[in-house]
Every structure is written in structure tokens, then in C-alpha cells.
Amino acid sequence: MLERLRVKNLALVKELDIEFGPGLNVITGETGAGKSIFIGALSLLLGERADKKSIRSGEDQCVVEAVFALSRPGPVDGVLAESGLDPCEDGRLILRRAIKASGSNQQAVNNSPVTAQVLQHLGDVLLDMHGPHDHQSLFRRSAQRAILDAFGHTEKELSAYREYYEQLQAVEERLEALKEGGEDVATMVDILRHRVQEIESIDPTLEGEEALNQEHIMVSNASRILGLGNGAMQALLEGETAAFDALAAAQRMLEEMSPLLPAAATWRDEVKSAAIQVQEVAAVIAEQMESIEANPARLEWLDGQIAGYQKLKRKYGGSVVSVLEALEAARVKLDDLESREERVAELEKDRTRLIRDLTVAGEGLRAKRVKASSKLAKDITRELRFLGFEHGEFSVVVTPGEPKANGMDEVDFGFAPNLGEAMKPLREIA
């Protein structure tokens, strides 16, 4: 469902942020209140042709963003996979489109740049807009296929097919990367080696960065830490008013008091325990102070390491996690390039195997769709009789097609309203 819609500088709207609840949401208002702008914002997110005239007067761009909560992410993930994008995390899909006065429009899906066509494909599975001049999703083959899949309960077969499809896409992308730019391979190898060496020279880890920062604080403040530590030991053990001496004196007095007041024995034991704790704390402080020294050379090294971390994070995504991901990606690609011929041969074998597995899975999916198609056609034809179409016939035709994210089939709904009329695709006669 549509969870949230944000609009900025679209037509008359300066800024709008709407959150939708579950179930039916109704937006009402007088003529001119802006209801059509709301629909226009959604249309832009569906990939409708952008017009810079829609930008609010005096502004250089308008931005529309929507958040969708997906109860069944499969259809959306299928479109994303077909477009080379990662599946949705936690069932959330974020669409964003910026229309600029300069003409350089931008579209993004989950923060990844895409074309307007990708938004159109996502719109086909996300929203069904009804109006005097708007399309209805029932006329689209993708929607008809989704209806047939829901009716035929093909989730298991479709999931297995998509797994092979995504693996095949990944293998083909790696093959393409290995095969293209043969003359530039040596240059790319040098770049990747430098990248790996650059990151490995710092050897970044999440724990390492925290440890460096902690040590830097300690070494850069060594003189102050030593002064405070020595002062604390003086106060505990060595000064004229040392806590240990005061506790020892209190212990002696309570010892003398205990024959006169039995409760004093308990107080004496507690004071004795406190004195022992003071000695233990002082020993720990002394041991720690021995390991601390003002070391300019160490501080300089720490500065260099921390600067190295900052440089890597600026260069590779802003976090240690992104740096480590860049390192792993560089290692994989470097390994591919350094053993290019062997990797190409291995990937070709993988592709052959995946095509075979994909074909088997696709044929199994098709068989289930074909079986469901006849029952769906009969059920709808029966309902047409009930609605007064005495001779109306409905058909669901499954034909082989090119492998795509949702199978190797094309699904067409057909309708013949009267006796003797030829069956025609629903989109041509409705």
C-alpha cells in the first residue's frame, strides 16, 4: 500500500507530506483545492512524461517521493531484478523523481538511479489508476499474468524460476564485464591492485577504528591523564590526608568502640572492606599509569592511521562497512581479471547450467499457468452468463515468450461478447 507521499514545488504546492493509513483513504475538497495535483504527483512517479511547466513558479525543480509497504514484494522484486536492481529490504519501496527546469530530470528507486521506463514498469504492479482518460491495469499483459498467477497459486514455481533468473543475470553481467574492454584490462588490473593495496595498508575494521580513536584520546592527553592519576593515588594512599590513612584511623577507633557498642564491630568490618577496596583501586590506577606515556611518535602514527580511515571513507562510501564492501568487490573483480580466460570458461559453464535450470523451471511454471488458465476462463465465462452475456466467452491464453523476471510466457485475456464474434484481446475491445 501507499504509506507516504511527499511533494515539493509541484504546480501550486510548495510542500506537502501525506501519510496514509491502512484500508480506504479518501481525499476530498472543492474544485481547485488541489486533488488533481495529488494525482499528478503519483502519475509522475509512474513515469509519466515530465513537463518543466509543472515546476512551481520561481523554483528550479520539483520533487515527488513515495513510500510503499509491500505485503507481496514478489512482483516488484521481479521488475527490480529485470532492471538490475536489488530486491526491496523489509518490504519497503521508495520512489523518487525530480523534475528540473534545466531539463536534467532524475529518477531513483531505493536511492538507485533509474530511467523513467523503470518507474512505468513498477507503476504497472503498484497502482491501478481509474479515470476518464487513465489506463486500467487489467488491460496490461503484466497485470493479466499476475492475476493468473494469483489464481493458480504459482508462488512456489515463480520463486524457483526467479532464483535461477537472478543468478543468470548476475553471471551474464560478470561475463560482459570480463569480455568488454580487452585493451583496458591491464589498466583496470593496475587500478584494482592499487585500490586493494590502498585499503589493505590501513587494514580497516569496525573494531579497529574505535580502538584507534580511543588510543588517540589517551595518547594526546597523556600528560593530563598522568597528572590526574598521580593525584588520585596521592588522595587514596600517599598524601597527608590520604583516604587509606583516614579509614585505618576510623577502623582503630571502631575497634576500641566495639566492646562498648556491639554495632561498632559491623561498622569496623565495613570500614576495613572499604580500606581494602581503596588499596585495590590504587593498585589498578598505578598499573595503568605505568602503561601511559607522552609519546609524540605514537601520536603521529595514530594521526596517520585515523587520517587513512577518513580518506578511505570519503573515497569509498562514507563508512567502514562501505570501505570493506569496496575492498571485497575489488578483490573479486581483480581475481576475475587476473584469471580472465579461466573465469570466462567457468562462467560460460555456469550460464549453460543456469539456462538449462531456468528453462526447466520456466516450463514447470508454464504448465501450472496453462492448467490454471482453462479453469480461470471457465469460471469467468460462468460469471459472464450470470451478468447477462448469454453467449459471451472469456479466454486465457498462455504462449511461450522470451525469458523475463516473471517467466517465459505471455498471458493474454480474450473476450468474445456475442455468438459468432471472434475472440479478441481484452485490451482491444473493452
Residue 404 zone, left/alpha/beta (φ > 0; ψ -120 to 50; rest):
beta
Percent pLDDT > 70 in the chain is 95
- Residue 222 and residue 124 share a domain: no
Q: Which of 117, 59, 53, 58 is nearest to 85 (CA)?
A: 117
Bridge partners of 413, per DSSP, are: 396
Residue 88 lies in a domain: yes
Where does a domain end: 253, 280, 297? 297
Domain count, the chain: 2
Q: Which residues of 219-228 are buried (b: 16+ CB within 10 A; e: fewer)?
A: beebeebeee
* Rounded distance between C-alpha atoms, residue 106 and residue 118, angstroms: 12
Using DSSP bridges, classify how beta strands 407-416 and 112-114 pair: parallel, antiparallel or unpaired.
unpaired
In this predicted structure, the answer to whether residue 30 has a pLDDT above a threshold of 70 is no
Using CA atoms, how far residue 342 sits from 173, 193, 339, 347, in Å, is 16, 19, 6, 9
The whole-number pLDDT of residue 137 equals: 67
Answer with the residue of higher pLDDT: 172 or 222: 172
Would you state the pLDDT for residue 348? Answer: 92
Of the segments 50-64, 149-163, 245-259, 318-332, which one has the largest average pLDDT value?
149-163
In angstroms, the CA 371 to CA 384 distance is 21
Q: Are 394 and 415 in contact (CB under 8 A)?
A: yes
Q: What letter represents residue 284's amino acid?
A: V
What cell does 386 get? Answer: 450470470
* Domain limit, last residue, from 119, 135, 151: 135
Question: Does a structural domain hold residue 167?
Answer: no
The torsion defined by the Cα of 246, 249, 255 and 256, in degrees rounded to 10, comes to -140
Domain contains 347: no
- SS3 label, residue 270: helix
Strand-pairing partners, residue 100, are 61
The answer to whether 429 and 404 are in contact (CB under 8 A) is no
Q: Please, what sign has the CA dihedral across residues 132, 133, 134, 140?
A: positive
Q: Which residues are paired to 15 by β-bridges?
A: 8
Most confident of the following: 38-52, 220-234, 268-282: 268-282
C-alpha cell at 346: 567457468
13 and 113 fall within a common domain? yes
Q: pLDDT of 277-289, one tens digit each?
A: 988 888 888 888 8
- Which residues are bridge partners to 409 per DSSP? 400
* Residue 176 in this model has a pLDDT that exceeds 80: yes
CA angle 385, 420, 415 (to 5 degrees): 50
Q: Does residue 79 form part of some domain?
A: yes
pLDDT, average across residues 328-332: 89
Tell whether 129 and 228 lie within a shared domain: no
Whether 81 is in a domain gets the answer yes
Grade residue 351 by pLDDT with cuts at 50, 70 and 90: very high
Q: Which of 407, 417, 410, 419 is nearest to 380 (CA)?
A: 417
Given this model, what pLDDT does residue 133 score? 45
pLDDT band at 413 (very low <50, low <70, confident <90, very high): very high
Q: Which residue has the cell 461478447?
A: 417
Whether 117 and 222 share a structural domain:
no
Q: Decide if pLDDT at 20 tops 90.
A: no
CB count within 10 Å of CB 152 equals 20
pLDDT band of residue 110 (cuts 50, 70, 90) is confident
In DSSP terms, 11 is beta-bridged to none
**Structural domain of residue 284, as residue ranges?**
218-297
- Classify residue 230: in a domain, yes or no: yes
CA atoms within 13 A on the CB side of 263: 0
Mean pLDDT in residue range 224-243: 80
Given 80, 113, 135, which residue is the final one in a domain? 135
Does residue 188 form part of some domain?
no
Range name among 151-165, 185-199, 220-234, 297-311 with the lowest pLDDT average: 220-234
- As a whole number, the mean pLDDT across the chain is 84
Name the residue type at position 287.
E
- How many Å apart are CA 199 and CA 309, to the nearest integer? 9
| Spatial separation of the C-alpha atoms in residues 40 and 62, rounded to whole Å | 12
State how far the Cα of 251 lies from the Cα of 261, in Å rounded to an integer.
Answer: 14
Give residue 363's pLDDT.
Answer: 94
pLDDT of residue 19: 87
CATH of the domain at 117: 3.40.50.300
Q: Evaluate whether residue 412 is within a structural domain.
A: no
